[in-house]
Amino acid sequence: MYANGKVALVTGAAQGIGRAMVEELLNKGAALAMVDQNRIAGEQCKASLDEKFGSNRTLFIQCDVTDQEQLRDAFQRTVKHFGRLDILVNNAGVNNEKDWEKTIEVNLISVIRGTYIGLELMNKKNGGQGGVIINISSLAGLTPAAYQPVYSASKHGVIGFTRSIAAMASIGNYGVRVNTVCPAFVDTPLLESIDKEENMGEYFQYKDNIKDMMKLFGILDPSLIAQGLVRLIEDETANGAVMKITTSRGIHFEEFSAQQRTKV
């Protein structure tokens, strides 16, 4: 699918990776809803993008993705405003080991809920027109992360859910592809959470170990993650794919053994 002329909804769109994805989708000719709980950052982001792309290409919707009613309303407003939905990016995420239940709510439960609402609207079996869903995980969803155990668990969950629902979408002929992106460290405000005790909790004492990892592996520019997103949107064969993005190897894919590919 080409993004040109399509309608997208991106969560966590006001800054960081979400904002970079919004800009890339606008460059490719899409219109989109920018969903974020941060009204000030969201409105500033829209105002700045309006200067380049015009005000009718984006709609900012303030929404806490963990609030079921707000999330459903954001989808309804998007379809009402633009007339359809073709591309969904469940990107909003947090790093909070102290309030770890919140991390599961934002990073995993809201991604699952968003995927189900997106499928209700796009599934050809429900009268939808098909589409593509991309759920943002992390390399910490494929490896242990000693100082971020719940963040890592939430991102492992995103990969397991995405691969499973992608298999179901294929079996059920939904006409919707579902894929995930797993970046290494990316230069966004999320990295600042490592310096905050209120985010790191008991792992705060290890913040320098994480900073050493960042020095060792390097930090990606958000624009590369946006390029990976577009590749998954355009590649009609990609379903259940786990895209990894690192400084050493750029955009590449996790390869699973035959056993790991077996559907149960």
Ligand X SMILES: NC(=O)C1=CN([C@@H]2O[C@H](COP(=O)(O)OP(=O)(O)OC[C@H]3O[C@@H](n4cnc5c(N)ncnc54)[C@H](O)[C@@H]3O)[C@@H](O)[C@H]2O)C=CC1
Ligand Y SMILES: CCCCC/C=C\C=C\C(=O)C/C=C\C/C=C\CCCC(=O)O
Name which of 169 and 186 has its Cβ closer to ligand X. 186
Instruction: Using CB under 6 A, count the residues that bind ligand X.
Output: 29
Min dist CB 171 to ligand Y, Å, is 31
Planar angle of CA 143, 227, 217, nearest 5 degrees:
40
Annotated active-site residue 151? The verdict is yes
Name which of 86 and 97 has its Cβ closer to ligand Y. 97
Residue number, nearest CB to ligand Y: 138
Q: Which helix (H) or strand (E) holds 31?
A: strand 31-36
Q: Interaction with ligand Y in 66-85: which residues (CB under 6 A)?
A: none
18 binds ligand X (CB under 6 A): yes
Let me know: does 15 contact 41? Beta carbons within 8 Å: yes
139 binds ligand Y (CB under 6 A): yes
CA distance linking residue 176 with residue 229, whole number of Å: 15
The active-site residue, picked from 151, 174, 203, 206, is 151
* Residue 244 Ramachandran class (φ > 0 left, ψ -120 to 50 alpha, else beta): beta
Q: Of 251, 243, 242, give the one whose Cα is nearest residue 221.
A: 251
Which tokens sit at 145? 């992360």
Query: Residues near 230 by Cβ (< 8 Å), separated by ≥ 6?
Result: 3, 24, 25, 28
58 binds ligand Y (CB under 6 A): no
Look at the chain and count its residues.
264
Q: From residue 49 to residue 68, what is the string marking binding to ligand X with x (rule CB under 6 A)?
A: --------------xxxx--
190 binds ligand X (CB under 6 A): yes
The residues binding ligand X (CB under 6 A) are: 11-12, 14-18, 36-38, 41, 63-66, 91-94, 106, 136, 138, 183, 185-186, 188-191
Catalytic site positions: 151
